Structures are given as C-alpha cells and as structure tokens.
A and B are shown apart, each in its own frame.
Chain A
Amino acid sequence: MREYETVFILHPQVDDAGIDREIEAVSQIVAGGKGEVSGVYKWGRRRLAYPIRKVQDGVYTLIRFRAEPPVLREIDRRFKMNESILRHLTTHASGDPTAPDFRSRDRRDRGDRGDRGDRGDRGDRGRGRGGRFDDDGGDDADEAFGREGRRRSRGASGPRDE
C-alpha cells in the first residue's frame, strides 16, 4: 500500500458542512478499500489562478491516505460525477501537506531575498517576450538573458505578446 494525497477544490458556495461531507465521503471510500486516512488538511478558500466554471474562488482540501489502486479509481470516479467539485488531483504523498500560504519556509525565503523591490525600471530587457526571467536573482542568468536570451527569442515569440 502506498501513501497518496488527493487535493480537491470545492465550489465556493459549499458550506462547512458540505466540506465535511466530502471529506467523509472520501474517508469512507478509503476505509471501504481497506485503506486508512492519515491526515486531512483544510486549506480553506482561496482565489483560483484562472476561473473554473465561471467561479474565481475555490475551497481547497487535501487528504492523505494509504490505499490500494482501486480506491484511487473510485475516488476519481466519484469526484468526476460530483458537481460541487471543481478540480481534483491525486498524487503520491510528498512534501508539506499544509496550505501553501502558511508555510514558514516561504517566510524564510522572503527574508533571504529581502529587497528585490525596486528592480522596476529594467526597461526593455525582456522586450519581445514579455518575460522577466526570475531565477532566484543571480545576475549571471539575468545577464545571459540580456544577451543570448533576447536574441534567440526574437521572432520566435515576439509577435504573440501584446
């Protein structure tokens, strides 16, 4: 048995009881397949990066569990039929299961990188591509982009932007 995690996004109009109902539904499928739930993480409501079924927000939940493959198929089948689930994704369990916004790691990252604030007027560097390649801020890569990156990309992706 492997440990998996499934994330699902509920419609924003689903209330708290509804969220718990979906969690319960998954738990029962897992239990029915002789698996066991090892953790439930409610990320709560957050903004979607793009609208899904005309809604801009979704309620995220992550569930970790151990189970056999047929359980995964059943979960997937149920989710597909469920109208209030906007999206779902099941993967092998890995990483930090808590909501992305609340991770201490992120705060540390930000501290390290401190004052990247005023790189605003970097002007025409990314012209023709609309891209600022942010790679942790090493200037080697920035320079490489300034020279080689711009040259290579011209024509290839230029006209599409804007």
Chain B
Amino acid sequence: MAKTVKKKSARVPRRKVCKLCLDRVEQIDYKDERRLMRAITDRGKIVPRRISGNCTPHQAQVTRAVKRARILAMIPFVADSYR
C-alpha cells in the first residue's frame, strides 16, 4: 500500500544541506576564483539557492563575492560560449 502512494506522488523533496556550512566556510572571498566558478552556471548566472541548497547567509555572501569578481573581470557577467 505504501508503495502505491509513493509512486503517485510526483516527487519526494529531499532536504538539502548547505555545502558551505558543512565545509565550515566562514567567508566567501571574491578572490577565490575556484569557488566562484562553481557558484555560477556556464552561462555566468549565479546558481539559485533552490539548486545549490545554500543557506541564506552563505548565499548572500556568494552573491556579493560573485558581483565583486565580475567587476574585476575575474568571472564573466555573461558567458556566451560553453567552456
């Protein structure tokens, strides 16, 4: 019985944990290019919290760092080519 119920429901939302909290990252630095490359899509957009699973304080830090790094041309505002 339980199985049929499970099949019918569209999907089971799984709890995401903030990766940055797990790694105990205190500060996200705009100079930390490697990390920032992971925080943007290959289009150059900031990965939304719903996908990344970041907690609010961390996502805010990521956003700020990405925007600063863009100003310094370390990461693109818009990536028009796939890497």
Known: A52-B73, A135-B53. A148 touches B43 (CB 8 A): no
> Are A100 and B33 neighbours in the complex by a CB distance under 8 Å?
yes
**What interface size band does chain A fall in?**
35 or more
Determine if B6 is an interface residue (Cβ-Cβ < 8 Å). no
Q: Which residues of chain A come closer than 8 Å to B31, judged between CB atoms?
A: 7, 62, 95-97, 100
- Chain A residues near B14 (CB, 8 Å)? 140, 143-144
Q: Across the interface, which residues of A come within 8 angstroms of B19, CB to CB?
A: 135-136, 138
Find A95's partner among B32, B38, B78 (CB 8 Å cutoff): B32
Which residues 27-51 of B have a CB within 8 angstroms of A?
A: 27, 29-35, 38, 41-43, 45, 47, 50-51
Is B73 within 8 A of A49, CB to CB? yes
Count of B residues near A, CB < 8 Å?
Answer: 34
Cross-chain contact B77 with A50 (CB below 8 angstroms): yes
A135: contacting residue among B27, B38, B42, B75, CB under 8 A: B38
A130 to B80, CA, bound (A): 10
Q: Mask for B16-31, Cβ within 8 A of A = 1, else 0?
A: 1001000000010111
Kindly state whether residue B60 has any CB partner on chain A within 8 Å: no
Complex CA–CA separation, A89 to B73 (angstroms) = 11
Residues of B within 8 A of A143 (CB): 14
Given the contacts A135-B47, A148-B11, A140 and B16 also touching, CB distance less than 8 Å: yes
Binary contact track A70-97/B, C-beta < 8 Å → 1, others 0: 0000000000000000110101001111
For the complex, give the distance between the alpha carbons of A9 and B74 in Å: 11
Instruction: Please report which residues of chain B, range 42-81, place their CB below 8 angstroms from some CB of chain A when the two chains form the complex.
Output: 42-43, 45, 47, 50-53, 68, 70-78
Q: A14 an interface residue at 8 Å Cβ cutoff?
A: no
| B76 and A131 contacting across the interface, CB-CB below 8 Å | no
Compute how far the CA of A106 lies from the CA of B31 in the bound complex, rounded to whole angstroms.
12
Chain B residues whose C-beta falls within 8 Å of the C-beta of A131 in the assembled complex = 41-43, 45
Measured between alpha carbons, how far is A134 from B62 in the docked complex, in Å?
A: 14
C-alpha spacing A25/B13, complex, angstroms: 56
Q: Which of A87, A95, A161 is the one whose CB lies under 8 Å from B43? A: A161
A sample of 12 inter-chain contacts (CB < 8 A) reads A49-B74, A50-B76, A89-B68, A100-B31, A130-B43, A131-B41, A132-B41, A133-B41, A133-B51, A141-B53, A144-B14, A148-B50
